[in-house]
Amino acid sequence: MEVPHAKIVEAVAPRNKFELRRLQDDEIPVIIKADNAGALEAIIASLPPKIVVVDSGVGEITSSDVINAKTGNAYIFAFESKIPNDIVKLAEAEKIKIARFDIIYELLLAVDELLKKGKVEELGRAEILASFPFNDKKVAGAKVTVGRIGKGDKLILMRAGKEIGRAKAASVRKQKAEVPSVGPAEEFGVILDSQLDFIIGDVIVSVTK
């Protein structure tokens, strides 16, 4: 899922009515859908305190759920709710994760796992435009498309939407000079602390975890 930098989401108060508030660093926003009101209430009542329900409802997953998840930087958990094919495609296009379950206990286990892992925040993205050698290492020449990329950042190498590998930015350079970070539209070279088999067109994503 692609996530914004700020820890600000749309929180429900009352339910299904949004108002803006800031989350704590260890809180995770979710949207809960169920096929009946009883199950919905039981699930919400069983969630850990650090799981913040930013929206909820009864029925199938809708485009509004996907848009709200994107706006609120939230995961969608569904209990026996239908997910129409067009909504699956929309969620994939918007990089929104939808997890569907037929057993409440399994849904709650998945929520606990999410809480244990913590939320990954995206700091920036860059497209790899070139590859060249430098001191026996392979350097990726790239251009920032969103956010920032900095020295020491944890990077995920993506190809066609799939993760290829992970590494740290050991060095970030502009015109041969090392710099602490680069921002939107800037071209730069990055040396990774472990060699990944990147190719032109791959995307590197800077994340917090």
**Contacts of 5 by beta carbon, 8 Å cutoff, 6+ apart:** 121, 122, 123, 147
Q: What is the CATH number of the domain that holds 152?
A: 2.40.30.10
CA pair distance 65, 63, nearest whole angstrom: 5
Residue 19 vs residue 149, higher pLDDT = 149
CA pair distance 70, 46, nearest whole angstrom: 24
Query: How far is residue 148 CA from its own chain's centroid?
Result: 16
The number of folded domains in the chain is 2
Which amino acid makes up residue 12? V
* 36 and 97 co-located in one domain: yes
Backbone angles phi, psi at 28, to 5 degrees: -125, 125
Strand partners, 122: 207
* 87 and 131 co-located in one domain: no
* 64 and 103 co-located in one domain: yes
**Residue at 137 is within a domain:** yes
CA torsion angle for 6, 10, 11, 15 (degrees, to 10)? -170
* pLDDT at 1 exceeding the cut of 60: no
* 24 and 48 co-located in one domain: yes
| End-of-domain residue from the set 89, 117, 145 | 117
Q: How confident is the model at residue 19 (pLDDT cuts 50, 70, 90)?
A: very low
| End-of-domain residue from the set 117, 132, 164 | 117
* 128 and 167 co-located in one domain: yes
**Contacts of 29 by beta carbon, 8 Å cutoff, 6+ apart:** 9, 11, 23, 52, 53, 54, 72, 73, 74, 75
Q: What is the pLDDT of residue 14?
A: 35
Residue 128 vs residue 3, higher pLDDT = 128
**Residue at 3 is within a domain:** no
Strand partners, 13: none
* 127 and 51 co-located in one domain: no
- Tens-place pLDDT, residues 163-207: 888 899 999 999 889 999 999 999 999 999 988 999 999 999 998
**Residue at 87 is within a domain:** yes
Helix (H) or strand (E) holding 158: strand 154-159
Listed as own residue / partner, the contacts of 133-138 with beta carbons closer than 8 Å and 24 or more positions apart are 134/189, 134/191, 137/191, 137/195, 138/192, 138/195, 138/198
Express the helix, strand and coil content of the chain in percent, nearest 5 each.
20, 45, 35
pTM value is 0.52
| End-of-domain residue from the set 82, 101, 117 | 117
Range(s) of the domain holding residue 80: 8-117
Residue 74 vs residue 169, higher pLDDT = 169
Q: What is the CATH number of the domain that holds 60?
A: 3.40.50.10050
Strand partners, 94: none
Residue 209 vs residue 12, higher pLDDT = 209
* pLDDT at 46 exceeding the cut of 70: yes
* 104 and 50 co-located in one domain: yes
* pLDDT at 114 exceeding the cut of 90: no
**Residue at 2 is within a domain:** no
* 110 and 128 co-located in one domain: no
Beta-strand relationship, 149-150 and 181-182: antiparallel
Most confident range (mean pLDDT) of 23-32, 69-78, 89-98, 178-187 is: 178-187
